[in-house]
């Protein structure tokens, strides 16, 4: 039991440290155009066809920082326990690929659904504005 608790504590410490490093990197690059050109964000946005203008870009960066921090810290925590260089490499590759695919797919679907919700809400607002314009023009025509 002591070994499990030790592993969990190592994981959380590593996770927090890596997450802080990611946040500092993103904070230094405040220019969104330079962040949009980073490979990580570009691949994520292109793969899941996300319109960056329709989502909160800071939220996207936070989610990517969380995902990457989790992948790195979880993989490192597991790899330390594996004996043998071949098994370490194979385990590392398997864990990274599974977590990358799974977590990025979940995040991509989440942001895609948020993008659709914003699109629907903006269309509803447009229809309401058009309806109000038609009502005001009908009232003006009725007065003439």
Q: Which residues of 30-40 are buried (b: 16+ CB within 10 A; e: fewer)?
A: eeeeebeeeee
Lowest mean pLDDT among 13-17, 20-24, 52-56, 129-133: 129-133
Show the DSSP H helices in the chain as ranges.
2-28, 32-36, 39-47, 57-81, 85-143
pTM comes to 0.72
pLDDT at 142: 60
pLDDT at 4: 86
How does residue 58 score in pLDDT terms, banded at 50, 70 and 90?
Answer: confident
- With CA atoms as reference, report the closest residue to 111 among 76, 73, 71, 61: 61
Highest mean pLDDT among 1-5, 45-49, 64-68, 119-123: 64-68
| Interatomic CA distance for residues 50 and 125, integer angstroms | 21
Region 19-27: mean pLDDT is 85
Task: Give how far Cα 49 sits from Cα of 28, 65, 105, 109, 129, Å.
Answer: 26, 19, 12, 10, 29
Q: Residue 56: enclosing H or E segment and its boundaries?
A: none
How does residue 33 score in pLDDT terms, banded at 50, 70 and 90?
Answer: low
Token output for 107: 């995040």
Region 2-15: mean pLDDT is 91
How does residue 76 score in pLDDT terms, banded at 50, 70 and 90?
Answer: very high
| Interatomic CA distance for residues 113 and 40, integer angstroms | 20
């Amino acid at each position: 039991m002591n070994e499990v608790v030790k592993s969990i504590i190592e994981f959380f410490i590593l996770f927090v440290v890596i997450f802080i490093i990611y946040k500092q990197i993103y904070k230094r690059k405040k220019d969104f155009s330079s962040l949009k050109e980073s490979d990580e964000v570009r691949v994520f946005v292109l793969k899941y066809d996300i319109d960056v203008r329709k989502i909160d870009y800071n939220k996207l960066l936070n989610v990517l920082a969380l995902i990457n921090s989790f992948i790195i810290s979880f993989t490192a925590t597991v790899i330390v326990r594996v004996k043998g260089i071949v098994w370490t490499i194979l385990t590392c590759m398997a864990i990274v690929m599974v977590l990358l695919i799974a977590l990025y797919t979940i995040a991509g679907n989440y942001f895609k659904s948020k993008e659709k919700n914003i699109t629907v809400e903006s269309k509803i607002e447009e229809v309401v504005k058009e309806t109000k314009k038609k009502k005001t023009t009908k009232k003006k025509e009725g007065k003439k």
